[in-house]
Amino acid sequence: MPIADFRCRSFQIGMRMLGASPMRRTLPPTRDLACFEAVARHRSVTRAAAELNLTQSAVSRRLAALEELLGQNLFLRDKQRLTPTVAAEEYAEELRSLLNRVEVATTRLLSHGRKGGVLTVACLPTFGSRWLVPRLARFIAAHPTIDINLISKIRPFSFEEDKAHAAIHFGSPTWPGARIHHLMDEHVIPVCAPQLVGGEALAAPDGFARLPLLQHTTRPYLWRDWLADAGASGVNGIAGPKFEYYSLVIQAAIAGIGVAILPDFLVREEIQSGALMVACSHRMRCEDAYFVVYPKRFDENVNVQAFVGWLRDEARLYVDGSS
């Protein structure tokens, strides 16, 4: 028997053993695969159902149908916990990439040549309220068919799990699987209520030793770094009241609780109004910076590209002092 005939015959026999017709692939329904991938990622039917907007029973039925088609259990079931088998975990990883590509291709087809729909952007809460939102009306006016959905994130997250199209990231230019564009550097200054220092800025940073320093819990060494950069001595840079959000740090400074070290763009209005004053003239450029990031699969997503282009333009205007 010729080798080509032998291979063809072997393929047909193998397909029959799998219960499929000759010359047809064993391709489960896409919805079943999507349910399986979500359950494998969340380790939970409940969370997968919420993500897919399905009932728990519907997800369970699709899992059962997929397991019946494949002829094997895909999960180890222990009370309410589902753990994928080793083979199922590998299968889920392969499917995740394929499903993402199908989703991107479909979105690209549906949105070809036009903009519109929901665009979800993850953003640091205080950056969003103080810098982004005051400028957002310009984007909405220029792109009225795009509905911005702004969500708050203060720590790194997964684009796969949070379903965000883009994010404003503060840190180093590192985000696996994403495009990263620099927006602007960050400069920090010490500010306080005028009455805390008698309305006069400190002549030297050593004077902060006699004042309470307000700490930001997600950046616990910012005061220490600023003091070192300013050449201060004898000041404990990690002691003082602690707050999780910049918005709380700003309010604590306005209330006269202590001196805050803050990005200058966040307190521009408070300084102009007199609610806060610069407590010492030294301004430090931070190693980390602000970036806009988005998954590489959105390289041709017109909504994402419109937002990223607009955001970079706004950042340039701000850095140049025009906005």
CATH number at residue 55: 1.10.10.10
* Together in a domain, 125 and 143: yes
* Together in a domain, 25 and 89: yes
* Together in a domain, 205 and 279: yes
Q: Strands (DSSP E) along 48-93, which ranges?
A: 75-78, 81-84
Element (H, E) at 103: helix 86-110
- Number of structural domains in the chain: 3
CATH of the domain at 301: 3.40.190.10
**Of 196, 186, 184, 185, nearest in space to 278 by CA:** 196
* Together in a domain, 197 and 266: yes
* Together in a domain, 158 and 307: yes
Helix (H, G, I), strand (E, B) or coil at 293: strand
Looking only at Cα atoms, what is the longest distance across the chain? 99
Rounded Cα distance between 204 and 233, Å, is 10
What crossing angle do the helices spanning 56-70 and 30-42 adopt, rounded to 10°? Answer: 110
Helix (H, G, I), strand (E, B) or coil at 232: coil
User: What is the gyration radius of the CA atoms in the chain, in angstroms?
Assistant: 27
* Together in a domain, 121 and 159: yes
Q: Which residues touch 74 (CB under 8 Å, ≥6 apart)?
A: 36, 40, 63, 66, 67, 84, 85, 88, 91
Helix (H, G, I), strand (E, B) or coil at 118: strand
* Together in a domain, 57 and 201: no
Task: Count CB-CB contacts under 10 A for residue 121.
Answer: 23
**What pLDDT was estimated at residue 108?**
57
* Together in a domain, 209 and 227: yes
Residue in the block written with tokens 């806060």: 276
Q: Helix, strand, coil proportions of the chain in percent (round to 5)?
A: 50, 20, 30
Q: Which residues touch 129 (CB under 8 Å, ≥6 apart)?
A: 247
Q: What are the C-alpha distances in Å from 294 to residues 26, 173, 179?
A: 34, 12, 5
* Together in a domain, 163 and 194: no
* Together in a domain, 28 and 103: yes
Ranges of residues in the chain whose predicted pLDDT is under 70: 1-26, 80, 104-105, 107-115, 322-323
* Together in a domain, 280 and 313: no
* Together in a domain, 197 and 55: no
**What pLDDT was estimated at residue 1?**
42
Residue 168: which domain range?
A: 117-184+289-319
> Six-digit token pair at 205?
């940073």
Last residue in a domain, options 90, 110, 130? 110
Last residue in a domain, options 110, 125, 143? 110
Helix (H, G, I), strand (E, B) or coil at 216: strand
Last residue in a domain, options 47, 80, 110? 110
